[in-house]
Structures are given as C-alpha cells and as structure tokens.
Structure 1
Amino acid sequence: MSTPIQPAPSLQPAPSLQSAPSLQSAPSAPSTAQSVWLVAEREIGSKLRSKAFVISTLILFLVALAAVIWGGFQAGNDAGTPVAVTADAPSSIDELPGLEVTEVPDRATAEEMVREGDVDAAIVGDQASSLGFAVVAESSAPSSLMLMLSQAPPVELLDPDDTDGALRYFVAIAFGAVFLVAASTFGGTIAQSVVEEKQTRVVEILISAIPTRALLAGKVIGNTILAMGQILVLAAIAIVGLTVTDQGAVLQGLGGPIAWFAVFFFFGFVLLAALFAAAAAMVSRQEDIGSTTTPLIMLVMAPYFLVIFFNDNPVVLTVMSYVPFSAPVGMPLRLYLGEAQWWEPLVSLAILIATCVAAIAVGAKIYENSLLRMGTRVKLAEALRG
C-alpha cells in the first residue's frame, strides 16, 4: 500500500528588509557643556538637600546680620561715660568730651548715685588734691574716665587716617573671615566629594559617561555658584544692616570695596577649588585628605591672620594685594582705606586671573592623572608626569 504523496508546502516569500521594524537609535552622549552642567547641578543639589549645610548657612547669615547691626548701633552711640559731678568740682570737667555729666549738689549725693549704679563714677571737689578734684567709684574707676582726666601733651597729626581705627580693624576682620569661611568650607566639600567618589568607585561610572575634565569643571562651577551665592547674600546683609543703623557714610565707603571683594573672591575661589580637587584626587581614603590639602588650608588661613596683625601696615597690605592667594582680602581692604591707586586693582586682578588659568591647567592635569589610581597616595611628581 503506497503512501500518497503530499503536495509540497508553498514557499512564502522572505520579508524584505524594508518591512522589518526599525531599530531605535541609541541615545547620543551628552556634550561637554551638558556634562559640566549635569555635574554642577548634582553638586548644588546635594548641598541644598543637606540639612547641615542649610542650617549652618542660616546661622552664618544671622550672625553676620547681628554683627553688622550691633556694630552700627555701637558706632552710632554717642553716649559717653555717665558720671556725677559735684558743684565744687572744677568747671572744666563739664567740658570734657565723652562724658555724660549729671550735676549733684554734694558728695553724699554723688556717692549714693555710684552705689545705686546710676553712674559709673563721681567727680567731687577735693582741696587736698593738687588737681582740685577726686574720682569716687564703687570697686574700680572706669579706665576710659581715667584716660580722659589724665594730662597728655597736645598731638598734631601731619597725615591723619581717613578711617576710624576700630572700624578699620572690624572691616579687615570681616573681609578675612568671609574669605576664610567660604573658601575652606567649599574647598573641603570639593575634596571630600572627590575622595568619596574614588573610595566608592562611583568615579569609574562617571568618567565612562563624561570626560574627566568635565567632571572637574562641574565640581568647580557648582561649588563656585554656591560660594558666590553666600558672598552676595552676606553683601546684601551688610548693606541692609548699615542702612537700618543709619550708617550711610560707612556704607558709602564700603560699597566699592565690597563689589571688588566679590570679583576678586570669584577668581580666587576658582583657583583654590581646582587645587582642592586636584589635591584630593591624589588620595583614596577620607582620612588621608589632610595630607594633601593642608598646604591649601594654610594658604586660605594666611590672609585672615595677616589682616588681623598687619591691618595698619601699608607695606604688608600692599604685598598682600598682589599675591594671588591673599589679593581677595588685601586689595579690597586697601581700597576701603584709600591706599590704592585706581589702576592697582586692575593689575592685581590681571595677576590673579593669569594665576587662576595656570592653576586650572595644573590642577586638571593632576586630577586627570590621579583620579583612577587607587591605594597609596599618588606623589605630586607622578601626578604631573602622568
């Protein structure tokens, strides 16, 4: 019995390539500018989401506002040392500046006012004294009063200072402290971020998607935006505080120096930020950060101490105003004191910008050559050599 032959199945034409579903194109890699901005956004967002950063920033603003308002009220307070003066005291006592005089009929009344705390001291007539008066105080005589009553020769100044000594010292400390706090805070933030990414190997994922220099630029730009934001808010606080306390003359003298401080701080911080990132890239553990960033921290601290001890030394301030690491403090202070010519800040700024460009180039080379090297600390010569 034969098996019937089945007809061959009809052959179907193969689908043409044109009828196949189109493949989706892979997403293109971000450009360098986009990569830089993505990293900058990440840096800014991580800091703004940090409660510690937000709280510490608010405390800094409140302390700055309180200091400006308190200083303004102290400067505007013309009340002198309260004293009681008896009728038999010399009449020249009433003419002394810096005294808030209350006239009393006798010594007993004056002593009672001293005991009650109504006055700091009393000046009473005393015929036994060669001066014709005596000072009565409860436990100790006010030093300011004794200085007023002491006899001193007349002083003639050939070149008097245009600014008050106390205000000069306060402005010097303010410029130095703001630079120190902002540069050390955000410089340390950059260093910790770099080492944390190395330690967790996140950096290997990041540089597989974006260029290494774009990662560095994003970190520097993001932290620079945050630092400049703090500087601008502090400048606004100073303006508001001086306005509230009716310190128009002080505000007028500080307006230009504050603007120059913001400009110098911008380039000075970019310089330091690039160096902090490069220094941190040379180590792989958080506990080793200090070994490479300590010289940078000393450079940040130096201007603060120099303006405290040498704010009245024109030679030191002149040198500071041309050294890139201290120019953001030295030059604005000299401008406030009226010791700088109109062309000096321009020359100093040109030196700072040139140094900033060189530091970015060196820092980028160190960062790029050290970022993927794990384990022991990378030596500076090796990081530069690559």
Structure 2
Amino acid sequence: MNAQPLSLPQATYLVAEREVVTRVRSKAFVISTLILLIGIIAGIIAMNFFSERETTTEVAAPDTVSAQLAEIDGVEVTEVADADEARQLVEDEAVDAAVVPDEDSTTGLTIVALTEAPSELLQSLSQAPQVELVNPDAGWSPIRYILAIAFGLVFMMSAMTFGSPVATSVVEEKQTRVIEILLTAIPARALLAGKVIGNTLLALAQIILIVAAVAVSLIVTDQTEMLAGLGAPLLWFALFFVAGFLLIATMFAATGALVSRQEDISQTIAPVMYIVMIPYFLVIFFNDNPLVMAIMSYVPFSAPVSMPIRLFFNEAQWWEPILSIVISLIACALVIMLAA
C-alpha cells in the first residue's frame, strides 16, 4: 500500500524540525551561544561599574557665581570676567558648560552648554536652572550610536551565523545526491522553506536569550529606568528581526541552489554577505541623518536596525513599521519562489 504523500505544510515542518534538532545538538552552537550571553552580561556590568565612577565636570562661571559652585563635588570651576567670556569658552569646547547669572530665570542662573547640559551639574543644583544650548542640532547622540551598533551587530552576526548554514546545507545535499531522494518525497519549496524557517526559529531563540540577558543584567545593576526605555525598541527589534532574517535566510538558500559544489559556495554567497554588512555600516555612519534612516527603514536588509531606532526616538508614524514588515515579507515570498 502506497504511503500518503506529505502536504506542503507537513513537509516544511519536518525539514524545519530536522534543522532545529541538528543545530541544538551541536556543541559548537551551544558553547558559542553561552559565550555570547556571558559577554553581554559582563559588558553591561562593566559599563555600570565605570559609569558610577566619579567624573569631573569643568564649568566656567563669573566670580559672582563661582562661589556657589565651588562647594559642589565633581565640579571644577574656571572663573571668568563675565558671561560673554564664559559662553565663548563653551563655544571653544574648553569647558563642559558655563553657569551665568540670569535675572529672568526663576533660579537666577542659566546653564550654557554646547549640545547638552551635563546631567551631573543639573543634579547638583538644588533647583534646575534654565538651560541654553549654543548649538543643539550639532550634537552627537551616544544613545543613537549605541543602539545602532548593538542592533546592527546582533542582526549581522545572527544573519551570518544562521544564514550561511542554509546555503551550505543546500549545496551539501546537492553534492551528495541526497537532494534527489528528498525531492521525490517533498516539494522543493517545502525543502527550502523548512530550512529557512528552522534557522529563523533558532536565530529568534538566540535573540530572545539576548533580550533576557540584557533585561536581567539591567535589573541586577539597578538600571531599571534604562530597561523601561529600551523595552519597546527591543520588542520592535525582535519583530523586525524575524522579517529581515527570513529574507536573508531565503537569499542564502537561493544562492545555495545556484551551485552544486562546496568549493563554489563562497563566491555565490559573497553578494549576500555584502547585503548584510553594508546596511550595518550605513546605519552606524548615518544614524543621525533623518532622510537616510527613513529610507533604510523600508529597505528589508536595514529595516531591522533603522526602524526600531526611529521608533525609539518617535520619528516614525504608527503605520510605517507595519508597511516595512509587509515589504520584507513580500520580498521573502518572491525570493523563495525564485529559489525553488
């Protein structure tokens, strides 16, 4: 009696299950994941340790104000003749900020800074004075830069770690003629889709572990305010990661289907590697450029990094992430049809 042929969903599930089980049983995969998690936890603890060390804020102030600042710990005062000279030192970046008298201010003082008022200085004063920024638009945002590096690095490393084995597996099965046996039982689309879905689930599981490690580390180091601020961006990143990685893994599968020998695979996957790496560097270099970030939010390869950053800073409308995800899923479906 002939066995009932497998349906497309059943065949896809079996292939995905085989991919997951094979990778989870690999000692190299388990050890590398543990090293990554330990590195993240150690990095957050180290950052918290160094941030708590005392720092000195250099402040320029006229003699009428310097006496008030001299008693504040962590503030080094440079006396100047008047407010104009103090502002000039700020513009020359000779000091971190200037504190000048201001009759219109409720506190009688104004902090003059180049791009951002030093938080230590604001916290040291009994009442927060008025803040005047000399050039607020020219500032370099460390938060944007850190988010760009963190999201970009995680996406790029995950794409290379879990994407390239998809291409390698396809070529290996073609070279050993196993693919001929498999295609007699399951459709080509089910084989490719199963490989893509299985590796996507593994990559998503690693992302969830990374998010959990970050959350636990921030709670242990009593950085709950930072955790509350990063909660939404991390969730958006995880969602966009799935859509972006599906497309990357599908492209790796397509490149693997182009060749029949392991020796040729490095040349075929090189363009996909560039597609993964180039958006990472673009987001880092242009993270403070609104136009470039907006464009990259709709490019499937860079959207997992650029869109969560824009959402974190409230620079995107509510419909933009939905449209971006739809574009990524459509592109993934088209590529997997072409690969099959």
Q: Same fold judged by TM-score > 0.5?
A: yes
Tell me what 2:55 maps to: 80
Amino acid at match of 1:347: L
Tell me what 1:140 maps to: none
CA shift for structure 1 position 290: 2.0
Within the candidate set 201, 212, 215, 1:236 is matched to: 212
Asked if 1 retains the 8 angstrom alpha-carbon contact of 2:112 and 2:133, the reply is no
Tell me what 1:281 maps to: 257
CA shift for structure 1 position 225: 0.8
Within the candidate set 192, 196, 199, 1:223 is matched to: 199
Tell me what 1:154 maps to: 112
Asked if 1 retains the 8 angstrom alpha-carbon contact of 2:55 and 2:74, the reply is yes
Tell me what 1:247 maps to: 223
CA shift for structure 1 position 93: 6.9
Cα distance change of structure 1 residues 130 and 173 upon mapping to structure 2, 3 Å threshold? closer
Q: Distance in 2 between matches of 1:344 and 1:158?
A: 33
Cα distance change of structure 1 residues 322 and 74 upon mapping to structure 2, 3 Å threshold? farther
Asked if 1 retains the 8 angstrom alpha-carbon contact of 2:283 and 2:302, the reply is no
Q: Which whole-Å deviations, capped at 9, do the CAs of 1:297-356 have from their partners, x for residues lacking one?
A: 111112221222122222221111111111111000111122222222122222222222
Amino acid at match of 2:278: A
Tell me what 2:272 maps to: 296
CA shift for structure 1 position 158: 8.5
Q: Distance in 1 between matches of 2:80 and 2:43?
A: 45
Using the size of structure 2 for normalisation, the TM-score is: 0.76
Q: Distance in 2 between matches of 1:333 and 1:198?
A: 41
Tell me what 1:111 maps to: none
| Farther-moved stretch of structure 1 (178-187 vs 301-310) | 301-310
Amino acid at match of 2:8: T
SS across alignment from 1:154: strand
Q: Does 1:42 align with 2:9?
A: no
Question: Percent of aligned positions with the same letter in both sequences?
Answer: 52
Within the candidate set 345, 352, 355, 2:331 is matched to: 355
CA shift for structure 1 position 175: 0.5
Q: Distance in 2 between matches of 1:150 and 1:321?
A: 39
Tell me what 2:85 maps to: none
Q: Distance in 2 between matches of 1:268 and 1:148?
A: 41
Cα distance change of structure 1 residues 95 and 298 upon mapping to structure 2, 3 Å threshold? farther
Asked if 2 retains the 8 angstrom alpha-carbon contact of 1:191 and 1:276, the reply is yes
Q: Distance in 2 between matches of 1:314 and 1:344?
A: 14
Cα distance change of structure 1 residues 313 and 228 upon mapping to structure 2, 3 Å threshold? same
Q: Does 1:187 align with 2:145?
A: no
Amino acid at match of 2:211: A
SS across alignment from 1:360: helix
Asked if 1 retains the 8 angstrom alpha-carbon contact of 2:279 and 2:302, the reply is yes
Asked if 1 retains the 8 angstrom alpha-carbon contact of 2:254 and 2:335, the reply is no
Asked if 2 retains the 8 angstrom alpha-carbon contact of 1:303 and 1:330, the reply is no
Asked if 1 retains the 8 angstrom alpha-carbon contact of 2:11 and 2:191, the reply is yes
What aligned pairs does 1:58-97 form with structure 2 within 5 A after superposition?
58-75=34-51, 77=52, 79-81=54-56, 94=70
Cα distance change of structure 1 residues 201 and 238 upon mapping to structure 2, 3 Å threshold? same
What aligned pairs does 1:1-386 form with structure 2 within 5 A after superposition?
25-75=1-51, 77=52, 79-81=54-56, 94=70, 98-99=74-75, 147=95, 154-155=112-113, 156-157=132-133, 165-364=141-340
Q: Which whole-Å deviations, capped at 9, do the CAs of 1:145-169 have from their partners, x for residues lacking one?
A: x7459999934338958x9932332
SS across alignment from 2:133: coil
| Farther-moved stretch of structure 1 (207-216 vs 273-282) | 207-216
Q: Which ranges of structure 2 fall in alignment gaps of 5 or more residues?
A: 59-65, 82-93, 101-110, 114-131
Query: Which structure: larger Rg?
Result: 1
Task: Indicate the RMSD between aligned Cα atoms, in angstroms.
Answer: 3.3
Q: Distance in 2 between matches of 1:305 and 1:61?
A: 23
Asked if 2 retains the 8 angstrom alpha-carbon contact of 1:195 and 1:280, the reply is yes
Amino acid at match of 2:54: A
